[in-house]
Amino acid sequence: MRSDNAKSGMQQAPARSLFRALGLTEEELARPLIGVVSSHNEIVPGHMNLDKIVEAVKQGVSMAGGTPIVFPAIAVCDGIAMGHEGMKYSLVTRDLIADSTECMAIAHQFDALVMVPNCDKNVPGLLMAAARLNIPTVFVSGGPMLAGRVKGEKRSLSSMFEAVGSYAAGTMTREDVEEFECKVCPTCGSCSGMYTANSMNCLTEVLGMGLPGNGTIPAVYSERIRLAKQAGMAVMEMLKNNICPKDIMTKEAFSNALTMDMALGCSTNSMLHLPAIAHEAGVDLNVDIANEISARTPNLCHLAPAGPTYMEDLNEAGGIYAVMNEISKLGLLNLDCMTVTGKTVGENIKGCVNKNPQVIRPVENPYSATGGIAVLRGNLAPDSCVVKRSAVVPEMLKHEGPARVFDCEEDAIDAIKGGKIVAGDVVLIRYEGPKGGPGMREMLNPTSAIAGMGLGASVALITDGRFSGASRGASIGHVCPEAAAGGPIGLVEEGDIISIDINANTINMKVSDEELARRRENWTPKTKEVAGYLKRYRRLVTSADKGAVLED
């Protein structure tokens, strides 16, 4: 056992004395030591229940003959961090989580790990760590929140942000906003739509690193506790059979993940996280293949914010395996990939039927013949940018209008809420990329303000920052190169005509090459003064099209 390096032989007697200080018995030390990575905290609603999940995991590990030992991982609530400097500290935690988990796992020589994440950067950070460490590992998330109900309709966090925009537009009263505030987030769990947290928990299941139900069983269901116990038992089987993350997270598994990303209509943040996880697994995942996969993959689900269904509905309809089984009818999945169940993808999804064709559309009747995410290129974004096509209204799939240019998110929000943005405009927010932010803030506040002001079907938003999975509309992010790295988005001037064609995968500013060259001669990218971790992060971070990974 790997843990023998820390607990066996005369040389390790001092270490054993410290294990005994933990209260461990001879019998416990004789068993494999299983690290349980707990992301429990009291600030993230999706993490407040993880203590219960962790205890269930420990029971499962113990029942299967292991010794569970808990250590922590941090997590940021993107909703609470949104709209101020705190959002600069969201994406950057992904690498802190991966690094700190690597440190803890190797320093203490754990034989295997059970990861217990839930929200946003916490999930990909731990997947990155799992790939890097490559010891038997199972994921079990805390599960999604139930949808709220306001005036008889299901609602979620994205409705809350849009309600603020509606109040600014004078179409909603303060009392209406307060009702939303009290009702849209009714339980613990990751927010109830197909936002980033749920996207990544679902894709963890697709990758083969989580048990069936990992992405969809609601946080408040007792079934989630049973799943956690099963995860504890499953990791012991993986250890016995020496099944490790790199055996699971192969090139074919990432192809499956991108395919299901398109079918489910996941958050555009998956286009940051999947390449970063693949990088740690030694798999080259270029975002260019996203359009190729999208072209042959129908979009089967329109969960919030794209439509009126929620994670609880997807769970009742059969969950991720039901969607995978539907997509497999087209021969689009690699069915021989190994998973944490000890079985292949094909074995796992066999017989998993679609129980609700209104939630999971049959492949014969998709929402669209192409996938939920599109990668665009043009003279505005030579290296790519990303849009959640499934959340764009048909009339905005092709749009042309004047640029309204802002060098930070706050200025754009003030203009939107101040009524200075009108139908046809293209709001452009720059210097918010991985280096420029630094930290690549999410833009849920401005996208929600646009929707709340009634401009969602007539105004586009472009940024070198990124979007929450709760954003909807023609919200185009991850523009590369970013402004701070000298990208042409930094050359755009107020009133320049921007042409967007999402179906053609193009995005251009109608400015001649000669004029752009002239502008570049007199232009120096802006730099924001930062200190501490953000300063180190900016120095090391790569571009969004490379997953915003850190490199020397």
17 an active-site residue?
no
Choose, from 255, 468, 475, 543, the residue flagged as catalytic. Answer: 468
CA distance 388 to 51: 34
Rounded to 5°, the CA angle 444-381-429 comes to 35
Phi, psi of 537 (to 5 degrees): -60, -45
Other residues' Cβ atoms within 10 Å of the Cβ of residue 366: 17
CA distance 253 to 259: 10
CA atoms within 13 A on the CB side of 403: 26
Q: Are strands 398-406 and 497-501 parallel, antiparallel or unpaired?
A: antiparallel
CA distance 32 to 119: 29
Q: How far from chain centre, in Å, is Cα 324?
A: 19
CA distance 332 to 324: 9
Nearest of 70, 56, 51 to residue 118 by alpha carbon: 51
CA distance 329 to 109: 43
Other residues' Cβ atoms within 10 Å of the Cβ of residue 551: 8
Angle between helices 270-280 and 122-133 (to 10 degrees): 20
Torsion, Cα 386 159 360 126, to 10 degrees, reads 60
Q: Where in the sequence numbering do the catalytic residues fall?
A: 468
